[in-house]
Amino acid sequence: MRAAFALAALLGLSACTGSMPQAMGKAAPPVPPHHGVPECPANAGVMDGWDDRAPPRRIFGNTWYVGTCGITALLVTSPQGHVLIDGATEPAGPAIAANIEALGFKLADIEFILGSHEHSDHAGGLAYLQRDTGAPVLALATAAATLRRGATDRDDPQFGQLDAYPPVADVRIIADGQAVQLGDLKLVAHATPGHAPGSTSWTWRSCEGAHCANIAYADSLSAISNKQYRFGDHPGYAAAFRRSIDIVAALPCDILLTPHPLASDLFARLDGKASLIDPNACRRYADGARANFERRLQEEKNDTAP
């Protein structure tokens, strides 16, 4: 029987005591490519490589990259079982499963599957991965309804522009601020609606020996919509979006990860071209999103000006 998940009102994870040595800013040793998986093209953009398997590698401690060249999927491991975060696109499901096995982990040891948001580029592979692992998908109620349908509805700013995907059979609801727990491993859910109604960011603590870091998987904060949707016409949603940006800015965040790896320069940081550890990364990520959102609102106002 799968381990029960503990739901606790945890709003974050405590930072490690003591100062972090300079060496922690360097890349974790990469796992060599397995089964002939090529490196992702160095000149790829954020919209490239969503279905293309990336070489799996360690990010830090018990946190591993198992996604594609353009979409993040993470494996967080523990002696009591593992947690998979995000399923990328529908075609990417088998690639994620292959990456997990290439690292030497068993799909059957995955106890829970979590997600960032309910769009097809991040949730498309969840049904496949759930069948392969037997693990339940845990999601906020808003996201859960969409995952069960395999399609967004009119509450989503991008309604009508997103592909449908295979419905997810076993989705269990969790709440904002609650923790998914396996032994000492705790991953805390932070509701950050805006990019999607069910957007969720996650935080946990990871250690390499005596050196620990708070990891934040901050969901997308881009204000993208179909041609008809205007954020200014939905003041409640706009206010929630602003709160989400503030929440992300304040997350415990030594290492920032994002659903699109290039949105946080993850591969460059893993390759040692930039610091992996950056306690200010979440705040900068949020500041950029805030400026873009306010620009979007102003553009909407300008479009209606006489």
What does the pLDDT look like over 247-297, one tens digit per residue? 999 999 999 999 999 999 999 999 999 999 999 999 999 999 999 999 999
Q: Residue 45 has what pLDDT?
A: 84
CB-CB contact of 13 with 204 (8 Å): yes
Q: Residue 306 has what pLDDT?
A: 61
Whole-model pTM: value is 0.89
Q: Residue 7 has what pLDDT?
A: 40
CB-CB contact of 300 with 230 (8 Å): yes
Q: Residue 9 has what pLDDT?
A: 33
CB-CB contact of 254 with 38 (8 Å): no
Fold adopted by 26-304: Metallo-beta-lactamase; Chain A (3.60.15)
Residues of the chain with pLDDT under 50: 1, 3-30, 33-34
Q: Residue 12 has what pLDDT?
A: 31
